[in-house]
Chain A
Amino acid sequence: MSEKKLLEVKHLKQHFDVPSGLKTLKLKAVDDVTFDIHEGETLGLVGESGCGKTTVGRSILQLYKPTAGEVYFDGELIQGKKTIREFRKKAQMVFQDPYSSLDPRMTVSDIIGEPLDVHKLYSNRAERDEKIKYLMDLVGLSSEHASRYAHEFSGGQRQRIGIARALAVDPKFIVCDEPVSALDVSIQAQVVNMFEDLQAKLGLTYLFIAHDLLVVKHISTRIAVMYLGKMIEIGPANEVYHNPIHPYTISLLSAVPVPDPNIARANKRIHLEGDVPSPLHMPSGCPFRTRCPRACAECAESMPELKEVRPGHFVACHKAEG
C-alpha cells in the first residue's frame, strides 16, 4: 500500500428534501464528512442501517449531486460533465441488492457488455465477446452462461455478474456497497475472498461498506465508523477493532458475537439505551449524546471535531483521550 491519496473527500454533505405535511424538512443523510483513501487500500465503512453509508458511496461517485463539499480523485476535482464522464471509467460501484441491480430483460453478456457499449471500449464484435468472456472468467462465472438471464442465477452468482460489470471499464476504485449482506452466510466468505483476490490481481482500491464489523475487519486496511451521517472514528483496522475509543464504536464491538463462551461471558455487553434519533430531528451537539453513557454538558453544545488521538487514529468525541 502506498501513501499516495487516491481519493480525497472534503466536507461532503448530502441533504435530501423530505416533504412532511405542508413544509419540507432537510434530511441530513451525510453531514460534513472528510476522509481520504490511499491507493491500493481497503477502507471499511461501518454503521447502523440508515446512518448514510450508501449515501456516502453514491455521493462520492456523483450519483447524487452533493449538497456541498468536494471529491478529488487522483488529485483532480470531480466537477462538470466531462470530468464526471471520465471519472465513471475509473470509479465504479457494486450494489447492495444483487436482485434489483441487474436488469431482468438483459442477458448476462449484455449486462457486462453495457459499460463497454457506453464507452465504446471495443473495435468489433469479436473483441467485445472476448472481453466479456475474460471478465466472466475473472469473477468465476462460466462463459457458457453468457446468454442467460440474470434471474436464472443464484444471489452469489448475480453479485459476481455485478462485479464483472463494475470491472468492465477497468476501474481503479470500486465502492462495494454491502456486497455480501444480501447473500447466504455460506457464500459470503467466497465473495469476500474474491474481492481480495481481485484487489491483489488488478491493484484495486476499495471503499467497502458493511454493517457487519467482522466482515470489514477481515478485508480492511482501515476502518471508518459512521453514526447519523457523521464520521465518528477512523483508523487502522486493528487499532479500531482492538482499541476502540469512541463510545459508539465500543458498544458496536461489544455486540459482535465472540466464538469462545468464556471470553464472551467475561466481556460485558454494553446495551445502548434508546433508539437512533431520526435524522430529521438531529440532537444538538454530538449526535450520539442521547445514547452515550459518558455524555456531559459540553456534548449538547458543540459537535466534537475529528481529532488524532493516536497516530493515524481519529475520533470525534469530547471525552476521547489517548
Chain B
Amino acid sequence: MKKNNETLPKKNPLSLQLDVSKFELATEDEKFLQQRMRPSTTFFKDGMRRLSRNKIAMTCLCILIVIVLIVTFVPMFYPYDYSTQLGITPGQPVDGSFKNLKPFEYSSTELARIEAGEKIFPHIFGTDALGRDYAIRVIYGTRISLIVGLFASIIVLIIGTIYGSISGYYGGKVDLVMMRIVDIIYSLPDLLMIILFSVVLKQTLNLEGTVLEKLGVGMISIFIVFALLYWVGMARLIRGQILTIKQQDYVLAARSIGAKGSHIIRRHMLPNCISVIIISTALQIPSAIFTESFLSFMGLGVSMPMPSLGSLASEAIDGYASYPYRLIIPAIAICLIVLSLNLLGDGLRDAFDPKLKK
C-alpha cells in the first residue's frame, strides 16, 4: 500500500478521484460467487425464513405458544376447578374463610391441615368473592377467549372466502349485486347489532338440555353475529384479490394453454390468495377476542359460572378498591394476547405479502 502511494503522483487531498491502488482484481472464486443466483426456495420456506428473522414476531409467537400450552395442559393437573366454590361441602356448614383470599394466602381450614403435615397447593392469585380459585378461572377464561377468537375467525374465513371468490370470479352483474349486499351489511353498526342479537336471542333461544347450554346465549349470539356481519371485510379483500389475479396475463396464458376453470382456480388463484387469507385471519382473531371480552364485560358474553377474560374483569370491578389485581390480571392477559396476535399478524404480512417483497 505504502509503496504504491509513492509511485503514484501526489493527489490533491480534496480530489474525488478514485485511488486506483485500492482496487484489486477479483479472484476466480469471487467471480463465481457473483454469478451465482441465490439458492432456490419454495415460497413457504422463503416466507418462514423472513418471519423467523423478525424478532418481534418471533417473541409474540413464543408468548402465544406458552399461553396456549398453559391453557391446554395446566387445567389437567391443577388441583382446583373453575366452578367449585371452596369451603362448601354438602352436608357441612359453609366455611367462609375461603372467600376473597389474597394471592398465596391460605384459608384457616387449610392452615390447620398444613399444620397437620398435609401439603396444599397455594392459591396463586387468591380466590374470588365466592371462594373460587382465581388462577384457574383466569386460565379458563383465557381458554374461552382464545376459542371464541379462533372459531369466530374460522367462520369469517369460510364465509368471506367463499363469498368473495364467487363474487370476484364471476364478476359482472353477480359481482355488482353481491357487493351491494356487502355494502349494506358493512354499514350496520356492529356492536349495536351484537347487543340487539343477544337480547333478542336470550328471549327466543331455548338451549336447555343441549350442549350449547354451557356456552350460553351470549356466546352463541357472538358467533351468529360474526357469521352474519364480520365476514364482509374478508369477502371484500378476497374479491379484490381475485379480481386482480383474474386480470393477470398468467391466467390468460393458462387459458391459452387449454386449462379448465377448476385448474386455474386450483393452480393459480388459490396459491396467489393464500397469503392474504392467512394474514387477515391472523389479524381477525385478536379483533374477535376483543369483541368477546368487551361483550362479556358488558354482561352479554359467556354465562355464569363460565369465565372469560372480559367477564372476569367485569366481576372484578365491584371489589376494585380492595382487590385491584383481580382486574389487572385479566386485563393484562387480554392485552398480551391481542397485542401478540396483532404483531404476529403484521410479521406474517411482511413475510408473506409479495407486494412488500423485494
Residues of A within 8 A of B (CB): 58, 61, 63, 85, 88-89, 92-93, 95-97, 100-107, 114-115, 118-119, 145, 147-149, 152, 162, 165, 169
Contact = CB atoms under 8 A, between A and B. Distances in A.
Nearest to A162: B253
8 A-B pairs with least C-beta separation:
A88-B258, A101-B249, A105-B271, A103-B250, A100-B249, A115-B257, A148-B40, A95-B249
6 contacts: A58-B252, A88-B257, A100-B249, A104-B354, A105-B272, A114-B257
A107 B41 CA distance: 10
A139 to B, nearest CB: 16
Interface in B247-291: 248-250, 252-259, 263, 267-268, 271-272
A157 to B, nearest CB: 10
Given A118-B257, A119-B258, A148-B37, A63 B263 contact: no
- B37, B252, B253 — most chain A CB neighbours (10 Å): B253
Contacts of A104: 272, 354
B43 interface: yes
B249 A89 contact: no
A85 B257 CA distance: 9
Interface of B: 37-38, 40, 43, 248-250, 252-259, 263, 267-268, 271-272, 354
A150 B255 CA distance: 19
Contacts of B259: 114, 118
A165 B111 CA distance: 80
A230 B249 CA distance: 25
Nearest to A89: B258
Given A114-B267, A145-B37, A152-B37, A103 B256 contact: no
A63 B268 contact: no
Given A97-B249, A149-B43, A114 B354 contact: no
B244 to A, nearest CB: 10
Contact of B256 (A63, A147, A149): A63
A180 to B, nearest CB: 16
A169 B268 CA distance: 20
Contacts of A148: 37, 40
Contacts of A95: 249, 252-253
Nearest to A101: B249
Contacts of A63: 252, 255-256
B347 to A, nearest CB: 20
Nearest to B258: A88
Contacts of B258: 85, 88-89, 115, 118-119
A104 B275 CA distance: 13
A93 B254 CA distance: 10
Given A101-B253, A149-B40, 11 more contacts: A95-B253, A96-B249, A97-B249, A102-B250, A103-B267, A104-B354, A105-B43, A106-B267, A106-B271, A152-B40, A169-B257
A58 B249 CA distance: 12
B255 A103 contact: no
A29 to B, nearest CB: 15
B256 A88 contact: yes
Contacts of A103: 248, 250, 267-268, 271-272
A165 B253 CA distance: 9
A165 B257 contact: yes
A171 B263 CA distance: 21
Contacts of A169: 257
B256 A152 contact: no
Nearest to B37: A152
A60 to B, nearest CB: 11
Nearest to A107: B40
A162 B253 CA distance: 9
Nearest to A104: B354
A106 B259 CA distance: 15
B277 to A, nearest CB: 13
A97 B257 CA distance: 17
A111 to B, nearest CB: 8
Contacts of A145: 37, 40
A118 B254 CA distance: 9
Contacts of A61: 256
B38 A152 contact: yes
Contacts of B253: 93, 95, 101-102, 162, 165
B212 to A, nearest CB: 41
Nearest to A95: B249
A158 to B, nearest CB: 11
A250 to B, nearest CB: 34
A100 B254 CA distance: 12
B145 to A, nearest CB: 35
Contacts of A107: 40
Nearest to A96: B249
A115 B43 CA distance: 22
A24 to B, nearest CB: 12
A162 B37 CA distance: 20
Contacts of A115: 257-258
